[in-house]
């Protein structure tokens, strides 16, 4: 089987890093309004997780949502969550989400990262890992679960970074 090139990977990661930074600053300053592309946006609250078990429970709940199951056939396939050594990245492979839990890796124990990994889970095996279909899935999950304001900010950062959507 020929591997599909993941040409948007670094642009997707760069845009998502900017968005996570906006959410982090909003939390630190307790000031949720940001300006994005000339619009004042009030960021919703993003859930943070304290344990692998809480990430697992969250994933289970998302996959059981009626609209998720109706939209993506792979929602009926369970995902397992496990801790990952190191602190550089969360990862999805073969129905397993690995989240770094080291002190430096706690940045990944958050809703934006977990939804990113679930967007991988819900995709088809033969699509680029961070291609247009993935980006659309992730934007939909963020918009419906975290809120439309979060999806707007994410879409704007994708656009600014040249990320293609479907």
C-alpha–C-alpha distance, residues 82 and 51, integer Å: 10
Question: How far, CA to CA in Å, does 165 sit from each of 5, 76, 85, 103?
Answer: 16, 25, 32, 34
Distances (CA, A) of 156 to 7, 24, 159: 19, 18, 5
* Residue pair 97/90 in contact by the 8 Å Cβ criterion: yes
Check residue 25 and give its pLDDT. Answer: 92
pLDDT tens for each residue of 85-105: 877 789 999 999 999 987 666
Helix, coil or strand: residue 24: helix
Of the candidates 152, 77, 89, 141, the residue with the CA atom closest to the CA atom of residue 115? 141
Res 104: pLDDT: 67
Q: What is the pLDDT of residue 102?
A: 76
Report the C-alpha gap between 50 and 73 in whole angstroms: 29
**Confidence (pLDDT) at 31:** 87
- φ/ψ region of 37 (left if φ > 0, alpha if ψ in -120 to 50, else beta) reads left
28's CB contacts (< 8 A; 6+ apart) are none
For the chain, residues with pLDDT lower than 50 are 1-3
């Amino acid at each position: 089987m020929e591997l599909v090139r993941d040409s948007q990977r670094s642009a997707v990661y760069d845009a998502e890093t900017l968005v996570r930074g906006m959410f982090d600053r909003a939390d630190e300053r307790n000031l949720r309004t940001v300006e994005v592309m000339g619009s004042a946006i009030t960021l919703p609250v993003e859930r943070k997780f304290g344990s692998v078990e809480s990430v697992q429970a969250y994933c289970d709940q998302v996959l059981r949502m009626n609209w998720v199951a109706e939209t993506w056939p792979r929602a009926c396939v369970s995902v397992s969550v496990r801790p990952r050594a190191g602190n550089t990245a969360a990862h999805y492979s073969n129905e397993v989400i690995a989240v770094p839990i080291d002190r430096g890796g706690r940045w990944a124990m958050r809703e934006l990262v977990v939804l990113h990994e679930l967007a991988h889970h819900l995709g088809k095996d033969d699509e680029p890992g961070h291609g247009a279909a993935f980006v659309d899935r992730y934007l939909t999950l963020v918009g419906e679960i975290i809120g439309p304001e979060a999806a707007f900010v994410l879409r704007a950062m994708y656009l600014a970074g040249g990320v293609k959507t479907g």
